[in-house]
Each structure stands twice: as structure tokens, then as C-alpha cells.
């Protein structure tokens, strides 16, 4: 299968009539990990939610394609089945539905009638849980109900490993995690990266990037990517802070 490519072209997005994204350009290929960093309220989560198709985010201009297909013409579930995955910042609780049942239903939704065998599913599930250092009992608990913040984040990664998307967006997968958990989650993500998988990691902090080692780092300010570079940009940002970017933005914006 061809390597995936997600292209975001001049994306403008409004929420309740207010423009949040003001022309985002971004391309993510298979075998690549991109990081999007930026201060709070700058549009990172809006970008993630828009890519997945949340109805609250209205695209006013620009386009998004996955492997050449027009994502904006697709419903949320169609985007997922086309290979897009969003690890959410605040995963929902689904009462009464076990994690295992949910995962199997989601896997089968992609396989269109060719349902995964129970044994195969169980083996893959347990292997993924081991990689993420999760108790196997986890599979029998209701989806995210009563989970700690860290457990919810691991559950997002677990879904990613099992659903095997082509492009994954991870929205603050590191928030609320202790350093050991950050390492585990980063390892889980890295195990996926290859010619058939690319990732967009949205984060506030450089910490997780130490382990994920993205090839591309983008800095987002006020609804736009204002600076892109390699991994060293994240280190520079960590040392100098966001004020440095804001200052640079003002200068370049005035030029």
C-alpha cells in the first residue's frame, strides 16, 4: 500500500462565527512525525478537531486531503475508516460498554463485513496492552469510565495501536502523564511509525518530544504556523519560551 499523505492547504476555520485558524499549511507523510507546539488558545486543538471533522468547527476556506481524497467531503466516521485517527485530549466515557467490545466493534467497522476473529483480536489486544504496560483487566472495564487521566491517555494509544490508522493526530497525549508514562506512550507511538504510518503530535511541552523525536516541529501562534524546523526548534523553544516566537512573529509580520 502506498505511503499515506495528509495535506492541509490554507485552512481557515471559524467557531461560532469567530475565525480560529487563519491559513494553516501542513503536509504529513508516512514515516514522518510532526510536532505542533504553541501557547494555549492558539488553535492547536481546533486544528486536530477540524481534521477529524467535529461539527463545531466550520471550515471557511482551504482544503484537507488524505491520500488525495477530499476529507472535508467526508463524515467523521468516513474519515476514520479512510485511516485518520485522533487521540483526544479529553476522551469520552462510554458507560456500559467494555473497552474490549468497543475496540472490536471499531476494528470491525473498518473491515466492512470481514470481522476479526476473537482469538486474533484477543492476542493483538493483549500484545498492545503489554507494550503500553496496561493491566489486562483494563479490557473488561467500561470505556474510560472511572479511568484516571493517565489511564485514559493510555487507552487512546491502545486504540491507535489496534486500529492501525494511516495518519494519527495526538492532541496533548502527554498532559497529565508522569515521566514514566510519557516514555511508555512515546514508545507505543514510535512502534507504529513506518512507511504506512505518519503522526502529528500536538503538545504544549517539549518533554514528550525527547522520546518521540519528531523530524519536523511547527510552532503555532494565533491560528497560523509561524515557524517550522527540525527537532532543534523544539529545544530552542524550550530554552527561549513562546515570547521569543511571538516577538519573531511581530517582526516578520511587520516586515
Partner 1 sequence: MALSSQTLTVTPENVANHLRDQFASDPEWLLARRREAMAAYFALPVPTRERTAFNADRSGAITGFESAPVPADLPLPVPETRGGVLSMAHDRVLVTRQPAALAREGVILTDLRSACRMQPELVAPHLGSVIDAAHDKSQALNAGWWHNGGFLYVPAGVRVADPVIWLHYHLPDQPGFFPRSLIVLEEDSEVVLIDYYSEGENGSAPVSRTLAAMTVEVKLGSGARLHYGSIEQLSETTDAFVHRSALAGAHSAIFWNVGVFGAGVEISRQSTRLVEPGAENHSVSVFFGSGRQHHDIDVVSIHDAPHTVSTMVGKGVMKGRAQSVFTGITEIRRGARGSNARQREQTLMLSDDARADAIPSLLIDENDVFAAHSASAGPIDQAALFYLMARGLSEEAAVRMIVQGFLAPVIDNISIDDLRQQVWVAVERKVSE
What is the nearest approach in angstroms of partner 1 to the Cβ of residue 45?
13
**Residues 6+ away with beta carbon under 8 Å from 36:** 26, 44, 47, 200, 201, 202, 203, 218, 219, 220, 225
Interaction with partner 1 in 147-176: which residues (CB under 8 A)? 159, 163
Binding part of the chain for partner 1, among 46-54, 181-189, 199-207, 219-227 by CB under 8 A, reads: 46-54
Q: Closer CB to partner 1, residue 33 or residue 160?
A: 160
Binds partner 1 by CB under 8 A, chosen from 10, 70, 73, 93: 93
As a dihedral over the C-alpha atoms of residue 79, residue 83, residue 88, residue 91, rounded to 10 degrees, the angle is 80
Q: Closer CB to partner 1, residue 86 or residue 226?
A: 86
109 binding partner 1? (CB under 8 A): yes
What is the nearest approach in angstroms of partner 1 to the Cβ of residue 118?
18
72 binding partner 1? (CB under 8 A): no
The arrangement of strands across the sheet holding 198-203 comes to 84-87, 167-171, 198-203, 33-37, 216-221, 224-229
What is the nearest approach in angstroms of partner 1 to the Cβ of residue 108?
9
Name the helix (H) or strand (E) containing 218.
strand 216-221
86 binding partner 1? (CB under 8 A): yes
26 vs 216: CA distance, rounded Å: 11
C-alpha count within 13 angstroms, C-beta hemisphere, residue 146: 9
94 binding partner 1? (CB under 8 A): yes
- Interacting residues with partner 1 (CB under 8 A): 52-55, 75-77, 79-81, 85-86, 88, 90-97, 102, 105-106, 109-110, 142, 159, 163
Amino acid at each position: 500500500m502506498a505511503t499515506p499523505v495528509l495535506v492541509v492547504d490554507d485552512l481557515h476555520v471559524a467557531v461560532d462565527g469567530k475565525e480560529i485558524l487563519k491559513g494553516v499549511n501542513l503536509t504529513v507523510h508516512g514515516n514522518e512525525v510532526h510536532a505542533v507546539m504553541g501557547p494555549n488558545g492558539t488553535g492547536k486543538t481546533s486544528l486536530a478537531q477540524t481534521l477529524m471533522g467535529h461539527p463545531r468547527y466550520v471550515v471557511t476556506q482551504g482544503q484537507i486531503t488524505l491520500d488525495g481524497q477530499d476529507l472535508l467531503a467526508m463524515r467523521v466516521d468516513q474519515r476514520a475508516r479512510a485511516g485518520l485517527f485522533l487521540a483526544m485530549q479529553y476522551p469520552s466515557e462510554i458507560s456500559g460498554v467494555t473497552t474490549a467490545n468497543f475496540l472490536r466493534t471499531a476494528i470491525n467497522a473498518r473491515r466492512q463485513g470481514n470481522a476479526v476473529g476473537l482469538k486474533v483480536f484477543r492476542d493483538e489486544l493483549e500484545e498492545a496492552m503489554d507494550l503500553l504496560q496496561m493491566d489486562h483487566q483494563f479490557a473488561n472495564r467500561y470505556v474510560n469510565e472511572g479511568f484516571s487521566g493517565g489511564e485514559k491517555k493510555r487507552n487512546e494509544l491502545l486504540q491507535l495501536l489496534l486500529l492501525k490508522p494511516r495518519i494519527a493526530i495526538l492532541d496533548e497525549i502527554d498532559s497529565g502523564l508522569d515521566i514514566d508514562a510519557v516514555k511508555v506512550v512515546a514508545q507505543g507511538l514510535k512502534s507504529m511509525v513506518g512507511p504506512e504510518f505518519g503522526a502529528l503530535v500536538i503538545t504544549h511541552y517539549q518533554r514528550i518530544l525527547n522520546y518521540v523525536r519528531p523530524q519536523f516541529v511547527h510552532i503555532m501562534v494565533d491560528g497560523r504556523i509561524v515557524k517550522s524546523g527540525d527537532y532543534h526548534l523544539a529545544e530552542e523553544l524550550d530554552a527561549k519560551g513562546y515570547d521569543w516566537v511571538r516577538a519573531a512573529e511581530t517582526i516578520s509580520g511587520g516586515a
